[in-house]
């Protein structure tokens, strides 16, 4: 990375956008030309330039739709949806920033037209969950009553269900239906319902599986859960307690979400205790560090938003329960743990999780030679998907 930005966080998000071109959710030179206009490490510049591109494409898509050009409008709406997502990405520093919801709503609006004009069926659904619902997209190849395996696509710390369009279309090619949902801390659930993350995500996934059992198109013996990024903690956590899955994929695997970031000479329990006992000092220290590091600045700001914390130190404390000690061993279904050679968000975590598993398991680490060395293999979704879906295909054949 670093081709367009020296800032690692901007470089990663640039590659994330560029890589989505394989599913039609971006176009290469749209991404490159926009990146060239963005000031290094400047959140305002990032928002401004992606907003301009998204607005231009949405206007074009609207024109195509009005004139009856459904294919062109769908394609343009899909890209605009993704660019609006990118424009909103760094706006969580100020929760009163009106642009945040405006851009997010524009992204949802654009995807509603993608659903309407798509060549395969994308159904918007609301999954019953506690006293509310989980928003989801259900992808099926056609309206046939044939029962097929289903992939549950679960995002992580900052993704959206709309961003899973490419993964869902790949699942359809492999003969699977797909349900992409958002739970607490994610997408619409945090934006519209203000429900933050919870560490016991099995409660969330169980609601999704209960819903799948009501669908005539679902082979309930062939449900596969795929957790992406922070979903690499959420999915294994759910699989440890919810045993109605044929397989689980953690890309990238996470054993200890925040505790591994402690000083090397400090035990995990002591680390979190020291923060709790010194909240004021911890806040000062974290805020100073954020000024010098774009990645940390975003991670803390966004984390406070999605975990419902009022300060950086409180956010750190809320991260303590996101830990797989004594939990990983409870997983029963075949599990694939995915790592990347240059994993920078959760270094070493995938292997640590894999080593704790006692179920049927497989470990894959994507490499620089495969051009897939970054977190969740951004920019290399073809080789990543081919290898991971090969494993899923093999598991389902043996099921």
Per-residue pLDDT, 145: 81
* CATH fold for the domain made of 120-257+322-399: Rossmann fold (3.40.50)
Residues in CB range of 276: below 8 A, 6 or more apart? 317
pTM for this model (two decimals): 0.96
Work out the average pLDDT over 344-372: 97
- From CA 198, how far away is CA 29, in angstroms rounded? 39
Sign of the torsion formed by the C-alpha atoms of 41, 44, 47 and 49: negative
Per-domain residue ranges for the chain? 1-119, 120-257+322-399, 259-318
Per-residue pLDDT, 373: 97
**Domain 1-119 sits in which CATH superfamily?**
acylaminoacyl peptidase (1.20.1440.110)
Instruction: Sort 369 into a burial class: Cβ within 10 Å, 0-12 / 13-18 / 19+.
Output: exposed
The DSSP symbol for 39 reads P
The answer to whether 234 and 247 have CB atoms below 8 angstroms apart is no
- Tens digits of per-residue pLDDT, 187-200? 999 999 999 999 99
Per-residue pLDDT, 1: 55
The DSSP result for 294-327, as a single string, is HHHHHHHHHHHHHHT-SSHHHHHHHTTT-B-TTT
**pLDDT score of 257 more than 60:** yes
- From CA 390, how far away is CA 120, in angstroms rounded? 23
Model confidence band, residue 327 (pLDDT cutoffs 50, 70, 90): very high
- From CA 40, how far away is CA 59, in angstroms rounded? 28
* pLDDT > 90: percent of the chain: 94
Neighbour order of strands in the sheet with 218-228: 121-129, 132-140, 177-181, 148-154, 218-228, 247-251, 335-340, 361-366
**pLDDT score of 2 more than 60:** no
The answer to whether 238 and 202 have CB atoms below 8 angstroms apart is yes
Model confidence band, residue 144 (pLDDT cutoffs 50, 70, 90): confident
- Tens digits of per-residue pLDDT, 79-100? 999 999 999 999 988 878 899 9
The answer to whether 148 and 218 have CB atoms below 8 angstroms apart is yes
The DSSP symbol for 130 reads T
CA distances, 183 to each of 53, 201, 205, 344 (Å): 29, 9, 9, 25
The whole-chain average pLDDT of the chain stands at 96
In 157-311, which residue ranges form alpha helices assigned H by DSSP?
165-173, 187-191, 202-212, 231-241, 268-277, 279-291, 294-307
Q: What's the token pair of residue 152? A: 């549950």
Work out the average pLDDT over 347-353: 97
φ/ψ of residue 368, rounded to 5: -65, -35
The answer to whether 239 and 333 have CB atoms below 8 angstroms apart is yes
The answer to whether 12 and 1 have CB atoms below 8 angstroms apart is yes
């Amino acid at each position: 990375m670093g081709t367009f930005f020296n800032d690692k966080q901007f470089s990663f998000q640039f590659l994330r956008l560029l890589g989505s071109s394989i599913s039609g959710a971006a176009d290469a030179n749209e991404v490159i030309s926009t990146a060239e206009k963005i000031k290094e490490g400047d959140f305002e510049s990032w928002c401004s330039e992606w907003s301009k591109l998204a607005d231009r494409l949405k206007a074009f898509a609207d024109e195509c739709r009005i004139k009856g050009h459904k294919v062109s409008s769908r394609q343009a709406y899909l890209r605009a949806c993704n660019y609006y997502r990118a424009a909103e990405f760094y706006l969580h520093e100020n929760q009163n920033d009106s642009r945040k919801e405006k851009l997010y709503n524009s992204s949802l609006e654009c995807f509603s037209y993608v659903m309407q004009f798509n060549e395969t069926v994308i159904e918007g659904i609301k999954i019953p969950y506690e006293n509310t619902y989980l928003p989801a997209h259900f992808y099926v190849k056609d309206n046939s009553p044939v029962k097929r395996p289903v992939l549950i696509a679960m995002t992580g710390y900052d993704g959206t269900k709309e961003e899973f369009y490419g993964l869902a279309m790949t699942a359809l090619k492999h003969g699977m239906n797909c349900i992409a949902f958002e739970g607490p801390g994610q997408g619409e659930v945090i934006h519209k319902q203000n429900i933050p993350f919870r560490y016991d995500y099995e409660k969330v996934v169980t609601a999704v599986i209960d819903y799948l059992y009501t669908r005539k198109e679902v082979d309930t013996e062939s449900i596969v859960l795929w957790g992406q990024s922070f979903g690499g903690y959420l999915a294994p956590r759910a699989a440890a307690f919810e045993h109605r899955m044929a397989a689980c994929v953690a890309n990238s695997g996470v054993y200890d979400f925040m505790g591994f970031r402690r000083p090397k000479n400090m035990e995990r329990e002591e680390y979190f205790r020291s923060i709790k006992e010194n909240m004021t000092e911890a806040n000062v220290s974290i805020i100073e560090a954020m000024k010098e590091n774009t990645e940390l600045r975003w991670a803390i700001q966004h984390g406070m938003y999605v975990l419902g914390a009022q300060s950086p130190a409180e956010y750190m404390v809320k991260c303590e329960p996101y830990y797989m000690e004594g939990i990983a061993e409870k997983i029963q279904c075949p599990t694939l743990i995915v790592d990347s050679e240059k994993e920078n968000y959760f270094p070493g975590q995938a292997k640590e999780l894999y080593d704790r598993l006692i179920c049927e398991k497989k470990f894959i680490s994507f490499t620089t030679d495969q051009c897939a060395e970054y977190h969740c293999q951004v920019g290399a979704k073809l080789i990543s998907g081919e290898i991971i879906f090969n494993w899923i295909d093999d598991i389902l054949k043996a099921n």
